Structure 1
């Protein structure tokens, strides 16, 4: 079975789907690996791939034309689409519901498409979870971006000229990206507050040294505390923190026999790695939360928003009128810019200034850390390939497509000319109407 890696063609994408370290493992497992020249850029030159056992191809066309499985980081470009070979497999991160026409063309080409962002968040799929690995990098870089844009220190500084207070940072959404943002801002010395609609994130947030924001609810505090205590009986605070950071193996219940997956279902359904905004809240609770956020925004120096729901538009958490009440010089870094943004004024890929507040809508922050991002993505890819690969009676590698399997069924977008992903089909039908 031949695996191919091409140089990413989209502008600004410096990651690569497989690093030499992973290529060596695949070759040892019996795969043949073909790498387009320059795919690893200056971080991983062609010679490293040759030493790992890969063959270096001169063009992307050669890779697409001969590989059984092509691995990519980004969705294919218009120039790459004609190179797709019928019967081949393409594994990438495509966010299919946002690009239904592209998926339709891939299906029409007879290509089996797997999207890494559709890998279910269950324990068995932990090592394949690119959303968590990339979100962790995004949360880290978001704080550095905000600190660089802010016209003040993040930590409290005492000098001969006096003392400057620590900057106040607010993180909205305590999924993987949010928790990493909290940890990074705290390491830089900022005063950090955070909000998530899931009360169980309180201990995760506080364990990182931040303050958890709660909207006032007459008579509701006791009930909320009871819910947290009940959760603690089945999953310790440390375990829940590790789960939110993407380490699902920590979700095993002490003394229980139902297995680790039992502790993950609630986390996945409530959007644990996406800021929690998959959960529907009562209207009155939403109103109180909005007012609390509005009040805290007036005091902040830096705001990081991380709320995203895979396959859907990001929820708007900061409206235009909220921005207008914020202090001039405040910086917002919106990690949900690629799916519409958590701030009403966010423009993807741009920095917008409104009433002295600068709103950053960065795209592909993981791509700005290409060495470690590629390494982590590559390990995710290796885990999926190892999971899908099987050997026939002669001992030859083949692809095992068992659509009764939860992971295969969820991640496979197209197969045999058909679109299997229901939200993508619905998006196409909506566009046609």
Structure 2
């Protein structure tokens, strides 16, 4: 078996596999080809890959020789003919790239998108969404602290007292929980909204206040994501958020719904009531954002409020983000490779089946197929 690691494009700084994992694959008799400088932006140089047993080569050589190819981003259209019959593993967000998925099937690619791995106890070691969201939540608070014009902790000085920053976090998934922990370590006062009452205990254990809104729809089967709520609930939610946001110095938003635009939780009229110097970090920017003014990969200033849209904060910590991602990938590989390093696609395994998007010229993922069916 020959595996290939491609160099990422479009500003992505992470790399699919680190030298540590390459070494483990070598021990399974897997030959690993690495595109030159594939890990450079994540601070894994070519020498480290060579020392681990990999071969540094060109992209064209990898596309020609490799059986399995690793790339975080979806394949480019001009690569599809060279990828025919090969296996691609990455984080392709297929629910938002339906047209591309159809092209992958037509090109007879077997694609595994690790963001589609079922979020079950057994799959935790392969859960790239959680490993990367934890980094995003941590970095969101640091970005807010850097941008905010005041202190986070309460300070008692000879010149007077400084009140602690008040942070409002919308969504208590993995990113939200890490944001709570980081903000509390920096001394901020934290309030948290989430549609799932089950997370209240976790929120409070981290030292934050949980703001409840009665009547939320059941989100237990949504894999850690938000779900569509009733209009009555949305009105109550908006009312409670509006009450909290007036007092907040920092707002961090994390709510997303798979395959749909992110819910608008902070409309313009709420932002208008925030005090000058406040900061919003929107982690849902890639799917439209949780505020009405969010622009992905942009910083917007509105009446003294800074709104930062960044859907790829893990790429700002590429060394550790790549390390965690590579371990997720390796744990998944152990399900589709035998001990001798040969391919064994067991579609009876719920994790393998759930992560597979296209295979043998067909779209095989049930969620994608249902979206393609006529209404």
For Structure 1 versus Structure 2, the TM-score category normalised by the shorter chain is: over 0.9
Change (3 A) 1:270 1:79: closer
Deviates more, 1:177-186 or 1:307-316: 307-316
Q: What SS does structure 2 have at the residue aligned with 1:399? A: coil
Q: Deviations over 1:255-284 (max 9, x none)?
A: xxxxxxxxxxx9751443x3xx12x54443
- Asked whether 1:405 is paired with 2:357, we answer no
Q: Deviations over 1:102-155 (max 9, x none)?
A: 222222221100001000011111111100000000001111111111111111
Change (3 A) 1:397 1:22: closer
Q: What SS does structure 2 have at the residue aligned with 1:398? A: coil
Q: Is the 8 A contact 2:117 2:355 kept in 1?
A: yes
The residue aligned with 1:64 is 63
Q: What SS does structure 2 have at the residue aligned with 1:284? A: helix
Q: CA deviation at 1:160?
A: 2.4
The residue aligned with 1:334 is 282
Q: What SS does structure 2 have at the residue aligned with 1:193? A: strand
Q: CA deviation at 1:312?
A: 2.5
The residue aligned with 2:200 is 202
Q: Deviations over 1:232-254 (max 9, x none)?
A: xxxxxxxxxxxxxxxxxxxxxxx
Q: Deviations over 1:374-423 (max 9, x none)?
A: 000000010011111126xxxx5332223232111111000111112344
Q: What SS does structure 2 have at the residue aligned with 1:347? A: coil
The residue aligned with 1:415 is 359
Runs of 4+ in 1 over 6 A off after TM superposition: none
Find the aligned partners of 1:307 and 1:46 in 2 and give their Cα distance. 38
Q: Is the 8 A contact 2:169 2:176 kept in 1?
A: yes
Q: What SS does structure 2 have at the residue aligned with 1:397? A: coil
The residue aligned with 1:325 is 273
Q: Is the 8 A contact 2:196 2:219 kept in 1?
A: no
Q: What SS does structure 1 have at the residue aligned with 2:338? A: strand
- Asked whether 1:166 is paired with 2:164, we answer yes
Q: Is the 8 A contact 2:67 2:87 kept in 1?
A: yes
Normalised to the residue count of structure 1, the TM-score between the two structures is 0.82
Q: Is the 8 A contact 1:175 1:271 kept in 2?
A: no
- Pairwise CA RMSD: 2.1
Q: What SS does structure 2 have at the residue aligned with 1:380? A: helix
Q: CA deviation at 1:214?
A: 2.0
- Asked whether 1:3 is paired with 2:20, we answer no
Unmatched 5+ residue regions in structure 2? none
Q: How many correspondences in the alignment? A: 373
Give 1:96's match in structure 2, choosing from 94, 97, 107. 94
Normalised to the residue count of structure 2, the TM-score between the two structures is 0.94
Q: CA deviation at 1:289?
A: 1.9
Q: CA deviation at 1:47?
A: 1.1
Find the aligned partners of 1:323 and 1:63 in 2 and give their Cα distance. 49
Find the aligned partners of 2:321 and 2:333 in 1 and give their Cα distance. 18
Q: Within 5 Å, give how 1:238-387 maps onto structure 2.
A: 269-272=221-224, 274=225, 277-278=226-227, 280-387=228-335
Find the aligned partners of 1:15 and 1:79 in 2 and give their Cα distance. 22
Q: What SS does structure 2 have at the residue aligned with 1:351? A: strand
Unmatched 5+ residue regions in structure 1? 225-265
Find the aligned partners of 1:8 and 1:82 in 2 and give their Cα distance. 19
Deviates more, 1:374-383 or 1:283-292: 283-292
Find the aligned partners of 1:425 and 1:214 in 2 and give their Cα distance. 36
Deviates more, 1:327-336 or 1:420-429: 420-429
The residue aligned with 1:241 is none
Q: CA deviation at 1:78?
A: 3.9
Q: Is the 8 A contact 1:121 1:268 kept in 2?
A: no
Find the aligned partners of 1:198 and 1:285 in 2 and give their Cα distance. 12
The residue aligned with 2:174 is 176
Q: What SS does structure 2 have at the residue aligned with 1:200? A: helix
